[in-house]
Structure 1
Amino acid sequence: MRIKICGITTVRDALTAEELGADAIGVVVCSDSPRSVPVKRAKEIFAALKPTTMKVCVTDTRSESDLEVIMHVKPDAIQLHSGIGVPDKCGIRVIRAVRPGEEPVPGYNMVLVDGSCGNGTPYDSDFAIRMVRETGAPVILAGGLNPENVEDAIRTISPSAVDVSSGVEKSPGIKDPKRVAEFIRHCREAEACL
């Protein structure tokens, strides 16, 4: 079970999440999200992290020039919330976001099941279970997760990873270290029971 803390906007929040046990850090770029940061800041955040922490650029861009700029950040993965394609030989893993009722656009290494895009809307459990069974790729569960519901979500869905943003925030883009710690603790407790 991997844990991604998404919507990180500061080096401090990234290091805190990493220290508390996050396996991956998501930074939103080239987006109109309140959590979006300039590409330069994404580079700074990723540079501060350990090599073992997965660095994920999250975007909803449809622009190939934006995608080129993002690839220069050299993340471990790009999480796409649009149908834009990534060159096969770029060496960066692709996480395709899908909403209930959609099918993943071809060309992905992982699938993120998300109905909320950071606004806290709960995931659709039937859809998530279907994606786990049918995609043939690791599935990341997102959408409305928080410390209070993540254990049940993990036990019900059995995803490869979970992703949280608004569920551990004080305000958009500002993480609450206590909620991050609680979220990670509940994930590890659920994982121990699988």
Structure 2
Amino acid sequence: MRIKICGITRQEDARLADHAGADAIGVVLFSDSPRSVSPNTAREIFRAAGPYMGRVCVSHTKSPEEFSRILDLHPTAIQISYPHEMPKNSTCLVIRVIQPGDPIPSSADAIIVDASMGKGTLYDQEYAKKIIKMSKVPVILAGGLNPGNVGDAIKAVQPYAVDVASGVESSPGIKDPEKVIEFIKNAKEASHAA
């Protein structure tokens, strides 16, 4: 099971996610989210993570200039809402966020099923399972996940990966070390049992 800890706002939380065994971290840019950081802060956060950590920039911007500043960070992937379009010259992997009612995007390297957008709203299990059956690309599950329910979610939905932000925080953008460690442990145990 692949695990992304999203909404990272501090270097120490990037290091925490890496040491705890996460596969990727996410930084939010050009957003009114309380987890949004500047490109300079994002660069420092990415530097703090180890060499094998995936680095994902999360944004809902439509601005070509802001996309350019995101791409300057050399992320592993960019996570954007469907149907936002990436700049034509982008070679970055694209993760498209969809919510119930959205069609499956025709161009994406992965899909994240997330009606929550960092607000802790629980995912729709039936919708997520339907998307996994229909999708030709990996499907990531997000929305209301936390250490207590991630194991059951993995067993029920069997996604490619899970993504968490508010479910492992002590306050918006501040990760709780015990919750991060427990989330990753529970997710890995559930994936081995599935």
The answer, yes or no, to whether TM exceeds 0.5 is: yes
Map 1:84-99 onto structure 2 (within 5 A): 84-87=84-87, 89-99=89-99
* TM-score normalised per structure 2: 0.97
User: What is the deviation of 1:88?
Assistant: 5.4
Distance 2:83 2:114 in 1: 15
Name the structure 2 match of 1:40: 40
Distance 1:76 1:89 in 2: 16
Name the structure 2 match of 1:143: 143
Name the structure 2 match of 1:119: 119
Change (3 A) 1:133 1:88: farther
CA contact (8 A) 1:18 1:49 kept: yes
Distance 2:88 2:188 in 1: 34
Change (3 A) 1:63 1:81: same
CA contact (8 A) 2:12 2:48 kept: no
CA contact (8 A) 1:79 1:94 kept: yes
Aligned-pair Cα RMSD in Å: 1.1
Unaligned 5+ residue runs, structure 2? none
Name the structure 1 match of 2:165: 165
Distance 2:60 2:85 in 1: 12
CA contact (8 A) 2:104 2:131 kept: no
- Secondary structure of 1:153's counterpart equals helix
User: What is the deviation of 1:68?
Assistant: 1.1
1:102 matched to 2:108: no
CA contact (8 A) 1:62 1:82 kept: no
Map 1:128-139 onto structure 2 (within 5 A): 128-139=128-139
Aligned length: 194
CA contact (8 A) 2:82 2:98 kept: no
- Secondary structure of 1:90's counterpart equals coil
CA contact (8 A) 2:29 2:36 kept: yes
CA contact (8 A) 2:110 2:139 kept: yes
User: What is the deviation of 1:82?
Assistant: 4.7
Task: Please tell me the residue identity of whatever aligns with 2:81.
Answer: H
1:66 matched to 2:74: no
**Greater Cα offset, 82-91 or 67-76:** 82-91
Structure 1 runs (4+) deviating above 4 angstroms are none
Unaligned 5+ residue runs, structure 1? none
User: What is the deviation of 1:85?
Assistant: 1.5
CA contact (8 A) 2:15 2:50 kept: no
User: What is the deviation of 1:89?
Assistant: 4.8
CA contact (8 A) 1:113 1:141 kept: yes
1:81 matched to 2:81: yes
Distance 1:188 1:135 in 2: 23
Distance 1:87 1:18 in 2: 30
User: What is the deviation of 1:50?
Assistant: 1.7
User: What is the deviation of 1:51?
Assistant: 2.0
User: What is the deviation of 1:55?
Assistant: 0.1
* TM-score normalised per structure 1: 0.97
